[in-house]
Amino acid sequence: MVNSNDFLFQTKGKIRAFDTAFSENYESKKDTQEEFEQQIGQLRLLQSKLYAQSRQGVLIILQAMDAAGKDGVIKHVMSGVNPQGCKVVSFKAPSAEELAHDYMWRCMKAMPERGHIGIFNRSYYEEVLIARIHPQLLQRQNLPFYHSKLHTDEKFWSQRYADIVNIEKYYINNGYMILKFFLNVSKDEQKKRFLSRIDNASKNWKFEMGDVSERQYWDPYQQAYQLMLENTNHKMAPWYVIPADKKWYMRLVISRIIVEKLKSLQLEFPQVSKKHLEEIEHARVILEKEK
């Protein structure tokens, strides 16, 4: 079995060096099912301890091209998690209220409480991805120093990368674990999934013409992701590049990494004090005396 470190992005690495169709020695979803269910069982227990302890929080960030499988990861990997201690936020185009604030505002507002797992389906990283591909979006942010050639100014993007890293370090220093996954899907596989959404009536609701329009920017997006990974990959919150052409394997790898990292927190159910134990025994006496 491969190690989770095999999926870590190296600062000087290249996205193209990662095989989007890699699946170890597994040949089908059926081959992974037993291990996947074991991982989900472990995740369920670890989340219970995280929630009970309520001292640390976990943020999971999913970034990817369209149709890479973000929704499926949330649905399947988090299937065993208690919804009471888990919150999913899917970030769409910002509202007028959100545009009136700094670009991190809506994400910081959505950070999970301690004891909870938060999942960002897309995130503040869109601000160095789609905003870089479509710089006209920056005009809507009413930045006081915006000018027409801002998107060509590397100082601007370098500052955004630095701000993101600094904010992540701030949260980590305050008891949060941040797990960042880039779901690495190939262009050919994305095409297959778009066609499936078109051909399958039950999937038509998933299809948007804008998804196809964005395919013309595939290469610029790959470059934007490359720069994002290079500039925001840091020891406290590294990026994992997950092969996404085989959804069943992608989900298995992500579940492994989440379980491994939660175990590293050494979570335990809170110890009950002597006084509390005495109160419990007193309660038992009262209840047993009831007719």
pLDDT at 152: 59
Where are the alpha helices (H) located in the chain, listed in sequence order?
29-53, 70-77, 96-99, 105-109, 130-133, 154-173, 187-199, 209-215, 218-232, 247-263, 274-289
Does residue 179 contact residue 59 with C-beta atoms inside 8 Å? yes
Which candidate, 80, 66, 116, 73, places its Cα nearest to that of 242?
73
Name which of 126-135, 138-147, 274-283 the model is least confident about: 138-147
Q: Which tokens is 123 given?
A: 């995130």
Report percent pLDDT > 70 for the chain.
Answer: 97
CATH superfamily of 4-289: P-loop containing nucleotide triphosphate hydrolases (3.40.50.300)
Token pair in block for residue 32: 């992974």
- Which is it for strands 176-184 and 117-121: parallel, antiparallel or unpaired? unpaired
Residue 235, pLDDT > 70, answer yes
Of the listed ranges 111-115, 163-167, 186-190, 270-274, the one predicted with least confidence = 270-274
d(CA 181, CA 120): 10
Instruction: Parse the chain into domains and list their residue ranges.
Output: 4-289
In the three-class reduction of DSSP (H, G, I as helix; E, B as strand; rest coil), residue 89 is classed as strand
Contact 32, 249 (CB under 8 A): yes
274 confidence band (pLDDT: 50, 70, 90): confident
Which has more confidence, 148 or 138?
Answer: 138
Find out whether 217 and 98 touch, Cβ atoms under 8 Å.
Answer: no
- CA atoms of 125 and 262, how far apart (whole Å): 23
What is the Cα–Cα distance from 41 to 108, expressed in whole angstroms? 30
Q: Is the pLDDT of residue 103 over 60?
A: yes
Task: Return the pLDDT at 180.
Answer: 98
Q: What is the mean pLDDT of the chain?
A: 93
The candidate with the shortest Cα–Cα distance to 154, out of 214, 231, 99, 101, is 231
Q: Please tell me the predicted confidence (pLDDT) of residue 240.
A: 98
